Amino acid sequence: MTFSATQIAVLISGNIEGDASASVGGFGRIEDAQHGQLSFLANPRYEEFLYQTNASIVIISDKLELKQPVTPTLIRVGDPYSAFATLLNHYQQLKTQQLQGIQQPSYVAPSATYGNNVYIGAFAYIGEGTKLGDNVKIFPGVYIGNNVQIGDNSLLHPGVKVYIDCVVGKNVTIHAGTVIGGDGFGFAPQPDGSFNKVPQIGNVVIEDNVEIGSNATIDRATIGSTIIRSGAKLDNLIQIAHNVEVGSNTVIAAQAGVSGSTKIGSNVMIGGQAGVVGHIQIADGSKINAQSGVSKSIKRPKAAVTGSPAYDYTSALRSQAITRNLPELEKRITNLENQIRQLVDEKMNVGEL
């Protein structure tokens, strides 16, 4: 597939400088892109490569003032990074749209239904009563249990497992190895010290426009639903426990874990390896720093916390600054103590004490 500068400019609402007929068939980093490739410049630290690159087309900011002539055709936009992401999404959609049909061997239950332009890869399993929307892409080795619903344009990469009764919305992407709807970690302690399993009879509901990385686990609810709200983005290797609710447009980085029945608001940002205890609430717009341990509710919207146990981010920075200055403070205190002793000795020598 090739695209001209004119076609690209239309897609990203950009203005062309140079040869509008220049065409590209791939993408490359600005520092090593080749002829026939498209690149972009978003970070000013890479501007020097703009004057050296072999790329045929480069997307740049409409505010950038050139310091010297350039070879590639330029397309100016307000936000080069966002524009480049738009193009990548468009390119990926074109590639996945070409995938259609049911490969063999695979199993589709007689009572399962599916819409138009569906792709089901080899060795996939589609259970009884499952409903797949239009343009759903099921890659090889995916397991979909009974009575699962998957909305239009959703994409499940190889090895994804979606257990019985779970619901996946429209335009959802789930990457390889992720498990949706495994049992929550529910065990009742017994008098003899053993544990009896509490059956997990709920499900997982993933709303529209969600993306979930590889090897994440989202547990089904004990009763009711574990919910991932629309627009949420979850990184690789994330654990979401039973009955958790993740708010819309919330982002969670890799290796973070959220314990059972916690409610996370909208537009929350959670850093990598952060841990959140169960049965608490995280207010809208909160920011949880990487490796933080959140042990109580965050009630103030847009609060920022860090540390373990996590507390106010600004206060934590002040504490860190004080900690770094402790050796100097120790010296100052020692000097003051010496001065006080010297004054006391002098007064004793003159008989004032």
For the chain, domain boundaries: 3-97, 160-309, 323-353
Give percent above pLDDT 90 in the chain: 82
Is the pLDDT assigned to residue 195 strictly greater than 60?
yes
Task: Give me the pLDDT at residue 136, please.
Answer: 97
Q: List the catalytic residue out of 35, 90, 175, 242.
A: 242
Could you tell me the pTM of the whole model? Answer: 0.82
The answer to whether residue 221 scores a pLDDT higher than 70 is: yes
Distance CA 64, CA 41 (A): 10
Q: What is the distance between the alpha carbons of residues 157 and 149, in angstroms, rounded to a whole number?
A: 16
pLDDT for 317: 76
**For residue 320, what pLDDT is reported?**
76
Residue 321: predicted pLDDT: 79
pLDDT in tens, 120-168: 999 999 999 999 999 999 999 999 999 999 999 999 999 999 999 999 9
Which of 242-246, 263-267, 336-340 has the weakest average pLDDT? 336-340
Contact 251, 232 (CB under 8 A): yes
Average pLDDT over residues 65-71: 95
**Phi, psi values for residue 90, rounded to 5°:** -65, -45
353 pLDDT more than 70: no
The answer, yes or no, to whether residue 231 has pLDDT greater than 90, is: yes
- Structure tokens that stand for 192 in this block: 């003899």
Q: What's the chain's average pLDDT?
A: 94
pLDDT at 352: 58
What class, spelled out in words, does domain 160-309 have in CATH? mainly beta
For residues 177, 179, 180, 182, the Cα torsion angle rounded to the nearest 10 degrees is 170
Instruction: For residue 289, name the pLDDT band (cuts at 50, 70, 90).
Output: very high
pLDDT in tens, 168-179: 999 999 999 999
Query: What is the CATH number assigned to the segment(s) 3-97?
Result: 3.40.1390.10
- Catalytic site residue 242? yes
Residue range 84-110, pLDDT digits in tens: 999 988 888 887 778 899 999 999 999
